[in-house]
């Protein structure tokens, strides 16, 4: 299936096909210098699949993890391109999850003021969310994505076959982002997941999420309004993530729950449990062996959440879901935010 992202000059296709990675030479222009960026947590055969069919390939392998989104690694990638005489006609390919995509995409956007970038996401989370929409970035001083650009890829290759090697925990994190999109934008997709679970309707779940993401990005490429809805669960989720270090999708799962009506919360909680995602913080900390950061966790999470999304005049704007398939924006002051965080903690 081809899902187009219509953005005038910056438009591109998302190719969704089981086995697409083996056809990458037909799908991408690899008859030029190609810098493949991957990390040591990605099975090496995926990058090798691309390297073996490229005419002049270079490979950069980063350590897995958020710490790789650094100026040091940006310099390393640009240096590799410079030393090997990459020109504006050459390209960068990310083969990996969100970290690799963010870093490689940002390097592609900077080198010679922008060279072609292809994304081959290998985690469910990057397949359904971060590989589409052109957000690229590195971190600075512990602040995620603070230096970056909107830079659309020339093509995104999504091969669900690569998910066969993904850990259960990482699969669940991707499921959380699919559920987020369904509950905000597509009642039918939410009901399908509610009935079957993500694994049992994987193709519909991935393509459904991709269609939502493409439509949102087409309407609001630079996150002036509508695209902010994709941050559902992320205000509190980012707070939990920075205080506990639990995985992003797990934190988003817990962060969505206080932002729903009672009715949706019950249904969403059941859906998340079925995907083996946490619905309360204490059980998640116990399960993953994380020590609680002191007694006032809700306050700490609220503090981190308000830093992350920058409070303006003492309020933060977050996404709220009253009915599956729709959302509204809600202004929250610090007290309201802390109350919501309390619901996750207790």
Q: Is 96 in the site for ligand GLY (CB under 6 A)?
A: no
Q: Is 69 in the site for ligand GLY (CB under 6 A)?
A: no
Instruction: Tell me how far CA of residue 191 lies from CA of 11, 260, 263, in angstroms.
Output: 31, 16, 14
Residue among 28, 230, 246, 271 that touches ligand GLY (CB under 6 A):
230
Give the interface segment with ligand GLY, choosing from 16-24, 38-46, 126-134, 335-343 (CB under 6 A): 126-134
Residue among 49, 90, 102, 129 that touches ligand GLY (CB under 6 A):
129
Position closest to ligand GLY via CB? 230
Give the interface segment with ligand GLY, choosing from 154-162, 223-231, 255-263, 321-329 (CB under 6 A): 223-231
Pick 171 or 232: Cβ nearer ligand GLY: 232
Q: Is 102 in the site for ligand GLY (CB under 6 A)?
A: no
CB of 130 to ligand GLY, least distance (A): 6
Pick 113 or 328: Cβ nearer ligand GLY: 328
Cβ density class 199-211: b for 16+ within 10 Å, e for less: eebbeebbbbbbb
Question: Which residues are annotated as catalytic?
Answer: 113, 135, 177, 213, 223, 227, 231, 234, 238, 248
**Rounded Cα distance, 176 and 171, in Å:** 9
Classify 301 in phi/psi space as left (phi over 0), alpha (psi -120 to 50) or beta.
Answer: alpha
Q: Is 211 in the site for ligand GLY (CB under 6 A)?
A: no
Residue among 76, 144, 211, 227 that touches ligand GLY (CB under 6 A):
227
Pick 80 or 130: Cβ nearer ligand GLY: 130
Q: Is 246 in the site for ligand GLY (CB under 6 A)?
A: no
Q: Is 251 in the site for ligand GLY (CB under 6 A)?
A: no
Q: Is 98 in the site for ligand GLY (CB under 6 A)?
A: no
Do residues 46 and 71 lie in contact, with contact meaning Cβ atoms separated by under 8 Å? no
CB of 2 to ligand GLY, least distance (A): 20
Q: Is 182 in the site for ligand GLY (CB under 6 A)?
A: no
How many residues bind ligand GLY (CB under 6 A)? The answer is: 7
Instruction: Tell me how far CA of residue 219 lies from CA of 3, 131, 208, 223, 317, in angstroms.
Output: 15, 17, 17, 9, 20
Pick 230 or 344: Cβ nearer ligand GLY: 230
Residue among 41, 101, 105, 133 that touches ligand GLY (CB under 6 A):
133
- Residues lying near ligand GLY in the complex (CB under 6 A) are found at 129-130, 133, 135, 223, 227, 230
């Amino acid at each position: 299936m081809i899902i187009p992202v219509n953005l005038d000059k910056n438009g591109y296709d998302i190719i969704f096909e089981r086995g697409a990675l083996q056809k990458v030479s037909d799908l991408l222009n690899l008859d030029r210098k190609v810098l493949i960026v991957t990390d040591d947590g990605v099975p090496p055969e995926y990058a090798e699949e691309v390297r073996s069919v490229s005419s002049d390939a270079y490979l950069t392998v980063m350590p897995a993890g958020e710490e790789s989104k650094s100026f040091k690694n940006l310099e390393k990638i640009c240096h590799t391109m410079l030393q090997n005489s990459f020109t504006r006609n050459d390209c960068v390919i990310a083969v990996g999850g969100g970290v690799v995509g963010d870093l490689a995409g940002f390097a592609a956007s900077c080198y010679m003021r922008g060279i072609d970038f292809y994304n081959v996401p290998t985690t469910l989370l990057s397949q359904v969310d971060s590989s589409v929409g052109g957000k690229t970035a590195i971190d600075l001083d512990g602040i995620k994505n603070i230096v970056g650009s909107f830079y659309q890829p020339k093509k995104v290759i999504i091969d669900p076959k690569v998910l066969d090697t993904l850990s259960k925990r990482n699969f669940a994190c991707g499921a959380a982002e699919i559920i987020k999109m369904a509950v905000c934008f597509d009642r039918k997709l939410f009901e399908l997941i509610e009935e079957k679970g993500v694994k049992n309707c994987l193709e519909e779940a991935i393509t459904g999420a991709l269609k939502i993401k493409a439509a949102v990005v087409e309407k609001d490429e630079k996150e002036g309004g509508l695209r902010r809805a994709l941050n559902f669960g992320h205000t509190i989720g980012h707070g939990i993530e920075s205080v506990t270090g639990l995985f992003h999708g797990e934190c988003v799962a817990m962060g969505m729950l206080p932002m729903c009506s009672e009715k949706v919360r019950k249904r969403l909680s059941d859906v998340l449990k079925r995907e083996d995602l946490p619905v309360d913080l204490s059980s998640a900390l116990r399960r993953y062996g994380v020590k609680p950061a002191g007694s006032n966790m809700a306050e700490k999470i609220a503090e981190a959440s308000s830093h992350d999304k920058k409070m303006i005049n003492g309020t933060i704007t977050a996404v709220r879901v009253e009915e599956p398939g729709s959302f509204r924006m809600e202004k929250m002051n610090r007290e309201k935010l802390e109350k919501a965080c309390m619901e996750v903690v207790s």
